[in-house]
Structures are given as structure tokens and as C-alpha cells.
Amino acid sequence: MMTFDNGAGWMPDPANPKLERYWDGSAWTELTQNAPRKAANGGGTRVALWGVVVVLVAAGGAVAWFIGRGGHDVAQAEADLVTKAPEQANTAAMTVDAHTLAVDVQTAVLDGDGALPTVAFANGSYLVTGADGAVQTVRASEGVTQAGITGTSQTDFCVWIMGQGGATVHASAGGSAASGGC
């Protein structure tokens, strides 16, 4: 079996190229996750670009609002931007996360003979656990506090994410993401 001397971390599983296995620095553990997939059509890049577009639109709207006020009550306007812009950016990032989670759930359904996986949030990451026991770990956006899944089948599910302050976003089986709960 292949070993690594570069410290602990997720490494390609020597027995299964579709998985990564956690190397604790001296031995392989039982923890596995799906290996990152490279989308031939640039799907991951597309999701990231949409996330950037959403953040830029939100920031542009904030700037337009500020300019439209004509400089009146500048101190209050600056205070509003400082408090609302991070919340809007975080909601946009969580929306991208929700879409990504919906895709990861659909992948786990395909890998797990149609059974819905569980979705949890721990230590700053989403954990998608398939019926086969494989755990896919996906790093969460900053400010996420909870995540989960509801539903009954591969065509009827909804993943949800909650951030600090109670902001919630969700994505359905179709992959569309929106603000609010399931």
C-alpha cells in the first residue's frame, strides 16, 4: 500500500480511484470521501463565476444606493454598507454552497443505489454521507452554522443551510437555490 511522508491530509485512495482516504501522517484511517471530479463542461467554474456575479451585483446595488442618496447622511449610509454588505455577500456564498450541496447529494444518490444521503455540518465543512458509508467533505462558506436535508427521494429533496443571524438558503432536487428554508 502506498504511503505519504508529507503529513496528514486527504490523499488518493490507493484501492479506489473514485475515493480519497485520510492519511493521519503515519497510517491510513477508515475515513473516505469522494475524490474531486473535474467537470468536462466547466461546471465547477460556472458555479464559482455565478457566485462572483451575485456578489458583484449585490455590491453594485449597494454602491448605486449610496450614490443615489446624493451624499446625504453619509455617516449613516457608510454604517449601513458596513453592516449589510457582509450579510449580503454571505447569503450569496451560502446560495452557491446550497447549489453545490444539491449536486453532491445527487451524486451520492447515484453512487448509493438511489438512497438519499445525510447532510450535516461540522467543523466548518458539510458532510454528505452516502448509503454506502462514503463521506464527502465540502468546505463551507464563512458564517455557516447548520446544514441538513429533507425529502423522501432522489427527485424530492431539499438541502438547507443556515448562517449566523438566522439567514437561510436552500436548493431543491432540481438544483435551483434560493433564500429561505425548504
Residue type, 147: A
E strand or H helix at 121, and its extent?
strand 118-122
Q: Is pLDDT larger for residue 60 or for residue 146?
A: 146
Contact 103, 175 (CB under 8 A): yes
**In terms of domains, do 94 and 173 share one?**
yes
Poorest-confidence range of 57-66, 80-89, 135-144?
80-89
**In terms of domains, do 11 and 89 share one?**
no
Q: Give the mean pLDDT of the chain.
A: 79
Residue range 91-119: mean pLDDT, rounded: 86
**In terms of domains, do 110 and 169 share one?**
yes
pLDDT at res. 106:
86
pLDDT at res. 82:
47
Q: How far is CA 154 from CA 19, 64, 150, 175, in A?
A: 22, 42, 11, 12
Q: Is pLDDT larger for residue 165 or for residue 37?
A: 165
Q: Is residue 1 domain-resident? A: no
**In terms of domains, do 31 and 49 share one?**
no
Q: What is the pLDDT of residues 156-168, one digit of tens each?
A: 899 999 998 888 9
Bridge partner residues of 140 (DSSP): none
**In terms of domains, do 26 and 86 share one?**
no
Q: pTM, whole model, 2 decimals? A: 0.52
**In terms of domains, do 55 and 109 share one?**
yes
Q: Is residue 2 domain-resident? A: no
Contact 103, 119 (CB under 8 A): no
Contact 156, 116 (CB under 8 A): no
Q: Where are the alpha helices (DSSP H) in 40-142?
A: 43-68, 74-111
Cell of 144: 455557516
